[in-house]
């Protein structure tokens, strides 16, 4: 990785710390004494539950990735999946809009003996299933809790609804564009022409070609998923469990801070936390810094009262900063990512890969952006 990229990531980490720190500082406000008291008298048992749930969350990410990787490399191991998944979490966390994780994962897959064309397919299939499950999951929450949440959070519910609509439009457009040649032609020709005339798109030919290529790739991976129903069903189950765990973390963090919540609040907090992520996912800063803390504080203070700031600190560390630490350590100590061995070279040669281990050593992060 060159000096330019290192400086960029250092800047991103600085933004995370400054914006995140300021957000938490303003969230605490006059609750500093109460926050310190809540942290001092926290329930260690529930903190342990939070830690275990986050470990399961990371493991599910790795299991899902391994599930698809085995389609192209039968001897791909869960250990390799953990390294790759944690690397993705780290780079997603330090880049705006979580844009860097997939690029590095392609690099990691190459190190693990899966060439870039296959790894791109793996990551696209993972995206298709995750985005589909996310839309269905949040749709159910919207249907069950629409009246309740729209009254409780009138303004912020609208923002969450916009986030939901954007996710729905993205996955629906991909599905319809992949299935309908008419829609594909409409998007790649008519829509792009209008955007080009409005000077929103610089090169009509280039963007039109990109849309056609991406929809074609989406169509190929969609067909592959439909032919591998056991893998598809397993991935759907893993993603449902993954989202349920992620959205339930604030509930267990609040119990750790001795907030008197009952189990009847469990699904309420899952729904509200889903809204937090729908809002913060579109904050264009690394780790959605500022947006995550602000939306969490505003949406959950109704339930958490005086322990909102303390719960926010624990939740943010558990779901974000701990992932950066674990991801960074995983990459640092992974021989597979940092060193080339004779076994690595032998394995890649036997699988007829086009990139030998000496070439992989020279690949930089920016190469995958091109």
* Sign of the torsion formed by the C-alpha atoms of 238, 243, 246 and 250: negative
The tens-digit pLDDT sequence of the chain (370 residues) is 556 666 666 776 677 777 666 666 655 655 666 677 778 889 999 999 999 999 999 999 999 999 999 999 999 999 999 999 999 999 888 888 777 788 889 989 999 999 888 888 899 899 989 999 999 999 998 888 777 777 777 666 777 888 888 888 888 887 887 777 777 777 777 777 777 777 777 777 787 888 778 778 888 888 888 888 899 999 999 999 999 999 999 999 999 999 988 888 899 899 999 988 988 887 777 777 777 888 888 888 888 887 888 899 899 999 998 998 898 889 888 888 876 544 344 443 444 444 333 333 333 333 333 3
Is-contact 309 31, C-beta < 8 A?
A: yes
What does the chain come to in residues?
370
Whole-prediction pTM: 0.80
H or E segment and range at residue 187: none
Is-contact 253 314, C-beta < 8 A?
A: yes
pLDDT at 68: 94
Please list the alpha-helical segments (H only) found in the chain.
3-28, 32-40, 44-72, 78-94, 101-111, 116-152, 154-179, 181-185, 192-197, 204-227, 229-256, 266-280, 291-304, 308-316, 322-333, 335-338, 342-350, 357-362, 365-369
3-state DSSP assignment of residue 96: strand
* Sign of the torsion formed by the C-alpha atoms of 31, 36, 39 and 41: negative
* Alpha-carbon Rg for the chain in angstroms: 22
Is-contact 224 230, C-beta < 8 A?
A: no
3-state DSSP assignment of residue 285: coil
What is the CB neighbour count within 10 angstroms for residue 335? 11
Q: Judge residue 4's burial from the number of C-beta atoms within 10 Å of its C-beta, 0-12 exposed, 13-18 middle, 19 or more buried.
A: exposed
Q: How far apart are CA 220 and CA 213, in angstroms?
A: 11
């Amino acid at each position: 990785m060159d000096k330019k990229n290192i400086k960029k990531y250092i800047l991103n980490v600085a933004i995370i710390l400054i914006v995140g720190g300021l957000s938490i500082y303003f969230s605490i406000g006059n609750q500093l004494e109460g926050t310190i008291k809540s942290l001092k008298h926290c329930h260690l048992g529930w903190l342990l539950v939070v830690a275990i749930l986050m470990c399961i969350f990371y493991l599910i990410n790795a299991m899902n990735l391994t599930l698809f990787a085995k389609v192209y490399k039968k001897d791909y191991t869960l250990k390799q999946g953990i390294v790759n998944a944690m690397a993705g979490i780290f780079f997603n966390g330090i880049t705006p809009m979580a844009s860097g994780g997939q690029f590095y994962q392609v690099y990691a897959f190459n190190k693990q003996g899966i060439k870039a064309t296959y790894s791109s397919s793996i990551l696209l299939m993972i995206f298709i299933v995750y985005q589909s499950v996310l839309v269905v999951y949040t749709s159910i929450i919207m249907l069950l809790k629409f009246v309740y949440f729209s009254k409780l959070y009138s303004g912020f519910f609208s923002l969450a609804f916009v986030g939901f609509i954007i996710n729905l439009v993205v996955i629906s457009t991909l599905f319809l564009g992949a299935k309908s040649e008419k829609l594909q032609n409409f998007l790649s020709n008519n829509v792009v022409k209008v955007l080009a005339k409005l000077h929103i798109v610089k090169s009509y030919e280039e963007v039109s070609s990109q849309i056609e290529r991406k929809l074609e790739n989406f169509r190929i991976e969609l067909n592959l998923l439909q032919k591998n129903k056991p893998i598809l069903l397993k991935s759907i189950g893993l993603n449902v469990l993954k989202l349920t765990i992620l959205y339930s973390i604030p509930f267990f963090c609040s119990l750790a801070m001795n907030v008197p919540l009952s189990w009847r609040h469990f699904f309420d907090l899952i729904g509200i936390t889903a809204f937090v992520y729908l809002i913060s996912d579109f904050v264009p800063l690394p780790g959605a810094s500022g947006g995550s803390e602000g939306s969490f504080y505003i949406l959950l203070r109704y339930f958490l009262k005086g322990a909102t700031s303390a719960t926010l600190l624990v939740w943010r560390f558990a779901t974000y900063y701990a992932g950066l630490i674990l991801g960074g350590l995983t990459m640092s100590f992974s021989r597979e990512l940092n060193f080339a061995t004779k076994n690595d070279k032998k394995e890649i040669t036997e699988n007829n890969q086009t990139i030998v281990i000496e070439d992989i050593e020279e690949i930089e992060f920016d190469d995958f952006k091109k």
